[in-house]
Amino acid sequence: MEQGVPALGLSSPDGLLKTRVSLTGADLTTLRIGGEIRRLLEPRSESMLASMMRQLNMERSGFLVIGGGSNVLMTDGVLETPLILTTGINEVSVREDGGVVFVSCGAGVRLRDVLAMTVREGWSGLEFAAGIPGTVGGAVMGNAGTLRGEIASAVHSVRASRFDGRFFDFGDGMIEWGYRKCSLRDEAPMVVSNVVFRLRRSARESVIEETSRSASDRRNQPSGRMTAGCVFRNPPGESAGRLLELAGCKGLSVGGAVVSEIHANFIENSGGATASDFADLAQRCREKVIERFGIRLRFEIMTLGVSLED
Ligand SMILES: Cc1cc2nc3c(=O)[nH]c(=O)nc-3n(C[C@H](O)[C@H](O)[C@H](O)COP(=O)(O)OP(=O)(O)OC[C@H]3O[C@@H](n4cnc5c(N)ncnc54)[C@H](O)[C@@H]3O)c2cc1C
C-alpha cells in the first residue's frame, strides 16, 4: 500500500526550501487522491525544519504537514499552502536503561520499520501496531491504535517545532491522549520532529507471537487497495464499520469512490476518484447511518486543503 517517494527534484537557491515540483498529492497519499502541490518542503533534519519554519513564519504563509499520507484526504485542486513532508527526518537511536529501551525516532520514520526493529530485538510495547501504515509523527498526532492498544501507551516524549521554529519537548504527562486524539493537535500548529518510545526488553518469541496476532486482526480489512484507513471514528461502545454495514453502505459508490465490500468503514479509490467523490460518498454513508440508527458518525480521516463537514 505504501509507496517509496520518487527521487528528489529541484532545490531553491538558498538550499533550504526544496521543492519537488513534479510530485502531486496523489503521489504522497495512500488514497492516491491529490492535485498539484505549489510548494513542497522536505526537511532532512530538525535544524533544517527549524530554518524552514522560521522562513515560513517570516513570509506569514502558513503550512500543512504530511507524513506517510495514510490518513488524509487531500484536495485534488492546487494546494497553495506550503506542505511539509516529514519523511526525510528519519534518524533512529537507541538507549537502554535496565530492561527499559528508549527508541528515539525522527518523525518521518515508518512505524512498520520501528516495529520490525522491535521484533528483531525482542522489545515489547508496539506489538498492537502491526499493519498500521504511516510515520511515527502521524501516529502520534492521531494516537493511532487498534483494539489491542494505542501509540500513547508507548510514547515517552515528543519533540515538536512551533510555527516560529522553536522546539518544545513534551513528556508523556504533558500530552492529553484520547481515542484517536492527541492534545498537540489542539495547540498552535506544530510539526512533530521526534518521538521517543519507551519499550521493555522481553522474550523475542512473545513479541513475535503478539505482533503476528495483531497482524492477523487485519484479515477483515482491505489490503492492497487505495484507501486512507477508517473513514469514521467508532462512536462510544460501537463499531462504525458495523453500523455502516447494517445501514447498507457496502458497495455504494460515487464516481471512482466505493465503500469497501470487505470493511464498510473503508472507502476505496477504485481508480480516478476525486476528493469530492470521496466526500460525497462519505456524506451519503453518514446519512444512511443517521436514518437507520440516529447516530452521527464523526470523521477519523484528516484533510489537507479540503474540508469535510464534521
Ligand atoms: C490500510 C490502512 C490501515 C490503517 N489502519 C489503521 C489502524 O489500525 N489504526 C489507526 O489508528 N490508523 C490506521 N490507519 C490510518 C493511518 O495509517 C494512521 O492514522 C497513521 O498513524 C497516519 O500516519 P501518517 O504518517 O500516514 O499520517 P498522515 O496521513 O501523513 O497525516 C495524518 C495527520 O497527521 C498530521 N501529521 C502527520 N505527521 C505529522 C507531524 N510530523 N507533525 C504534525 N502533524 C503531522 C497531518 O497533517 C494529518 O493531519 C490505516 C490506514 C490505512 C491506509
Q: Look at residue 67 and tell me if it is in a domain.
A: yes
Nearest CA to ligand 1 atom 28: 69
The reply to whether 214 and 250 lie within a common domain is no
What pLDDT band is residue 8 in, cutting at 50, 70 and 90?
A: very low
Q: Look at residue 228 and tell me if it is in a domain.
A: no
Closest ligand 1 atom, CA of 151?
11
What pLDDT band is residue 23 in, cutting at 50, 70 and 90?
A: confident
Q: Separation of 143 CA from ligand 1 center, angstroms?
A: 9
Full DSSP string of 8-31: P-EE-TTSSSEE-TT-BHHHH-TT
pLDDT at 254 over 60: yes
Total domains in the fold of the chain:
3
Q: What is the tens place of the pLDDT at every residue in 110-119?
A: 999 999 999 9
137 C-beta closer than 6 A to ligand 1: yes
What pLDDT band is residue 22 in, cutting at 50, 70 and 90?
A: confident
The reply to whether 69 and 108 lie within a common domain is no
What pLDDT band is residue 3 in, cutting at 50, 70 and 90?
A: very low
pLDDT at 109 over 50: yes
Residues 6+ apart with CB under 8 A from 65: 83, 84, 86, 137, 191
Cell of 157: 516524549
List Cα–Cα distances, 203 to 30, 96, 111, 209, in angstroms: 34, 16, 21, 10
Nearest CA to ligand 1 atom 49: 302
pLDDT at 41 over 90: yes
The reply to whether 264 and 158 lie within a common domain is no
The reply to whether 206 and 101 lie within a common domain is yes
Q: Look at residue 227 and tell me if it is in a domain.
A: no
142 C-beta closer than 6 A to ligand 1: yes
Q: Look at residue 225 and tell me if it is in a domain.
A: no
For the chain, the average pLDDT equals 92
Q: What is the tens place of the pLDDT at every residue in 150-171?
A: 999 999 999 999 999 999 999 9
Q: Look at residue 37 and tell me if it is in a domain.
A: yes
Nearest CA to ligand 1 atom 51: 229
192 C-beta closer than 6 A to ligand 1: yes
What pLDDT band is residue 172 in, cutting at 50, 70 and 90?
A: confident
Closest ligand 1 atom, CA of 150?
11
86 C-beta closer than 6 A to ligand 1: yes
The reply to whether 116 and 214 lie within a common domain is yes
Taking every pair of Cα atoms in the chain, the longest distance, rounded to a whole number of angstroms, is: 58
Nearest CA to ligand 1 atom 21: 139
Q: What's the CATH number where 68 sits? A: 3.30.43.10
Q: Look at residue 232 and tell me if it is in a domain.
A: no
* Among 88, 118, 139, residue at a domain's last position: 88
For range 255-284, the mean pLDDT = 97
pLDDT at 53 over 80: yes
Q: Separation of 230 CA from ligand 1 center, angstroms?
A: 10
The range of the structural domain enclosing residue 70 comes to 10-88
* Among 88, 108, 140, residue at a domain's last position: 88
pLDDT given at position 309: 81
pLDDT given at position 7: 32
* Among 88, 113, 146, residue at a domain's last position: 88
**Residues 46, 54: Cα–Cα separation, whole Å:** 12
Q: What's the CATH number where 111 sits? A: 3.30.465.10
